[in-house]
Amino acid sequence: MSTLIFVPFLLLGLRVTETATETWRQCTGSLPLDLLSFVLERDPSKLVPGVHMKQASGVRGIHFSSPDTALSFPSSQILVNCDLFPKEFSIVLTLKVTDSAPKGNEYVFSLMGPKGRPVDQNDGGGSLKSNKEPSITGEEQHSQKTRVKSNGEHGRLILGLKFSGKRLHFLYKGHGGVVEHWVFRGTQLADSQWHTLVLAVGSHHVKLTVDCSPPVEIIPSRPFPSDLNIQGSRFHIGSRGLWKGLFSGLLRQLVLVPGLDATHQICPSSDPQLAALSVPPLFLDLPATGADDRHVNTYETEARVSVGLEKSCSEQLQGQLWFNPLKKGLYLCDGTVWITVLEDRKRLDYVLEHQVLTTSSETHDIELFQVPGMGLMAAMAHRSTSGSAVYLWTKTGFQLYQNISTNGALAWRHFSMGNKIYLVVSNSGGDRRFNKESEADFSVIYKWSKRRKRFVQFQTLQTHCARDWEAFNIDEHTYLAVANHRQGDKNHTIDSVIYRWNRLSKSFEVHQMLQTSGAYDWEFFTVGPYYFLVVANAFDGVTTSLDSVIYVWVNGNFQVFQKIKTFCATDWEMFQIDSRVFLVVANGHRLHGNGPSQYTINSTIYELDMSAQLFVRFQDIVTYSAVDWEFFSLGQEHFLVVANSFNGESYSLNSILYRWQGYEGFVPVHWLPTIGCSDWEFFSAEGESYLIYSSAKAPLSKVFMLKTY
């Protein structure tokens, strides 16, 4: 049933992020967009007009009988909120083309521009030009690209895939409205056999993989355009919207995968001619029929989908689809229970830039909290010696509320005792003017003054290049834990300290010391009646490959519970999904001695195995000098966003939003461009959901609004 996995994505459309500098928005994302399911499943109660289900060699596909409008849809329905076709993508298709196919053009699919829009004809060259492209595979295949002047036939064509003279052609509108052709010769496709093709278009090369065999590659003289405008365009499946050019073969799979080469997602395969990324549920496996290879059977498809109120799923109904109009859900009977294929519910649709907040300097951390009578506030740890600041959420976004002088602030943490609100800042002592001799620095606790409506200094605590504070309550006592990163310039293996609030002296006092190595983060969490504290150990002076330690509270103190190998661990985030408990670490880089640093490494999600009483590896996610993870839920869906800060060359890179997909774990769904990303925080206000990120390399923070539908 693996073919079903991607079906729920098909209504989600493509993710987009706006960049402030461009008017046209590029379509981004990497979710497979199942174009065939999109037309076939819009009304799961019956087969759309213009197609018939057919079976060949015991495998189902559709045959096109007319270019019905039901086989066409606006591109904006799946390429949501963007104007430019993805500049990199792949197309996965499974089809069967008869060896007696007519010589004329037959379109597997096309993307056509709006009617009546004149085509730019400013390109003077009108004659047919042809130039051979070198084949880097050195095999017999030839690839050829021709430039044809746009004319009536091609005028509206933006992009398409067609068979012509038994050869596969990929066409797109190049500069000046000139249609570019890439022709893939030497591949035997029109032989009445099923074939699965992956056409992968990258910035500098194009690759066609047939049945998971070694690919045919071409390096086009002009790369696929990054500015292919698709505004007002429509996809046509099996045609270009006209009778002329209707595809006469059988089509079983047609998936557009923006952003990446999907070859490795389906290859190698045990059944390469039918390798599946996403196949419409209607085509799902049938009982063996023993039908003759060449014989084509027509099937009654109506019986496969039933519409109406719930009935029980039994062995007889195995493979049956059921559409429930009340829930707008599509379900598949697996022989005992109905499995959800599609269900209409609140889902993350896209991410919009909401506010660019200019700050006095670069920012290492954002802490969000509510102050009664004031609303949502954000404390930001700014790098500059002029200090940090607290911001207040208003109708237009965050606005500076109070300047607070800090000294190399790296993190803020809020907590409350009774009805009083406090903030503690970790001052790393970036400015050594004040404490040259002692090499110690002081972190400061502030208290919210209701009368003065501002934070006022409350207590100072000596710390050593403090990186993080954590606050928590155990048995009605309030504790603070500081992550002391290093003492002096070299000594990283030092004590981090747990403080406890003393009600009599009205101050925090040392409760327990725990030895840490370049401590970067503390995370407190509870599981049932147990209290845990986990430290991110980043560096011991020699290597970043160190044990980070999970402690558990026993008899009034923390004791080691488990050690986990990490690589410059910078953050731990605990989260729960249903009754499952997870911990994810952000690994910054691998470094040993004088060797080079590796920034592209895995960060790992661990799951608590209740019976073994241990956290065990659940999923590795490749990150780029990750410095923060943030977990949040929207409706029924769960997400993780990572702060990728550096890839070894640049601080400008995407932070990635992952969505929980059950047994597949977390899969990437949004790419958010960031600069030196240092922190992500999720928050809700006035019924809307937002993410904010801070930059350690630019004096700005950005708020994104999460649009759901």
Ligand X SMILES: *[C@@H]1O[C@H](CO)[C@@H](O)[C@H](O)[C@H]1NC(C)=O
Q: Of Ca ion, ligand X, none, which one sits near residue 667, judging by CB under 5 to 8 A according to partner kind?
A: none
Q: How many CB atoms lie within 10 A of CB 212?
A: 18
Q: Of Ca ion, ligand X, none, which one sits near residue 324, judging by CB under 5 to 8 A according to partner kind?
A: none
Of 36 and 389, the one with the shorter C-beta distance to Ca ion is 389
Helix/strand/coil (H/E/C) assignment for every residue in 121-148: CCCCCCCCEEEEECECCCCCCCEEEEEE
Which tokens in the block code for residue 312? 């029980």
- What are the strands of the beta sheet with 519-527, ordered from one edge? 519-527, 530-537, 545-554, 557-567
Helix/strand/coil (H/E/C) assignment for every residue in 186-201: CCCCCCCCEEEEEEEE
Q: Which parts of this chain interact with ligand X (CB under 6 A)?
A: 360, 386, 400, 402-403, 487, 491, 494, 600-602, 620, 622
Closest CA to 549 of 511, 589, 519, 581: 519
> Within its chain, how far is the Cα of 575 from the centroid?
18
The residue from 279, 571, 574, 669 that contacts Ca ion (CB under 5 A) is 571
Of 69 and 491, the one with the shorter C-beta distance to ligand X is 491
Of 50 and 588, the one with the shorter C-beta distance to ligand X is 588
At 178 the three-state DSSP class reads coil
d(CA 625, CA 357): 24
Which tokens in the block code for residue 146? 């021709």
Of 180 and 521, the one with the shorter C-beta distance to Ca ion is 521
At 334 the three-state DSSP class reads coil
Q: How far is CA 671 from CA 13, 312, 573, 643, in A?
A: 14, 41, 20, 11
Stretch 488-547 residues interacting with Ca ion (CB under 5 A): 521, 523
Which tokens in the block code for residue 335? 């022989």
Of 234 and 590, the one with the shorter C-beta distance to ligand X is 590
Q: How far is the CB of 465 from ligand X (least distance, A)?
A: 12
Adjacent-strand bridge partners of 333: 338
What is the total count of residues that contact Ca ion (CB under 5 A)? 6
Q: How far is the CB of 264 from ligand X (least distance, A)?
A: 12
The residue from 234, 464, 630, 666 that contacts Ca ion (CB under 5 A) is 630
Q: Using the rule CB under 5 A, is 180 a contact of Ca ion?
A: no
Adjacent-strand bridge partners of 413: 424
Task: Give the gyration radius of the chain's Cα atoms.
Answer: 30
Q: How far is the CB of 101 from ligand X (least distance, A)?
A: 42
Q: Of Ca ion, ligand X, none, which one sits near residue 523, judging by CB under 5 to 8 A according to partner kind?
A: Ca ion
Q: What is the DSSP track for 88-101? A: SEEEEEEEE--TT-
Which tokens in the block code for residue 687? 């019924």
Q: How far is the CB of 400 from ligand X (least distance, A)?
A: 5
Q: How many helices (H) and strands (E) does the chain have?
A: 2, 49
Q: Using the rule CB under 5 A, is 365 a contact of Ca ion?
A: no
Q: How far is the CB of 261 from ligand X (least distance, A)?
A: 17
Q: How far is the CB of 439 from ligand X (least distance, A)?
A: 10
d(CA 411, CA 416): 17
Q: Which stretch binds Ca ion (CB under 5 A): 113-121, 177-185, 606-614, 628-636?
A: 628-636
Of 63 and 590, the one with the shorter C-beta distance to ligand X is 590
Q: Of Ca ion, ligand X, none, which one sits near residue 386, judging by CB under 5 to 8 A according to partner kind?
A: ligand X
Q: Of ligand X, Ca ion, none, which one sits near residue 36, judging by CB under 5 to 8 A according to partner kind?
A: none
Q: How many CB atoms lie within 10 A of CB 291?
A: 15
Which single residue brings its beta carbon nearest to Ca ion?
523
Q: How far is the CB of 243 from ligand X (least distance, A)?
A: 49
In sequence order, the 6+-apart residues with CB closer than 8 A to the CB of 43 are: none
Q: Using the rule CB under 5 A, is 470 a contact of Ca ion?
A: no
The residue from 83, 180, 217, 628 that contacts Ca ion (CB under 5 A) is 628
Q: How far is the CB of 600 from ligand X (least distance, A)?
A: 6
Of 310 and 620, the one with the shorter C-beta distance to ligand X is 620
Q: How far is the CB of 508 from Ca ion (least distance, A)?
A: 20
Q: Of Ca ion, ligand X, none, which one sits near residue 99, judging by CB under 5 to 8 A according to partner kind?
A: none
Q: Of Ca ion, ligand X, none, which one sits near residue 601, judging by CB under 5 to 8 A according to partner kind?
A: ligand X
Residues near Ca ion (CB under 5 A):
521, 523, 571, 628, 630, 679
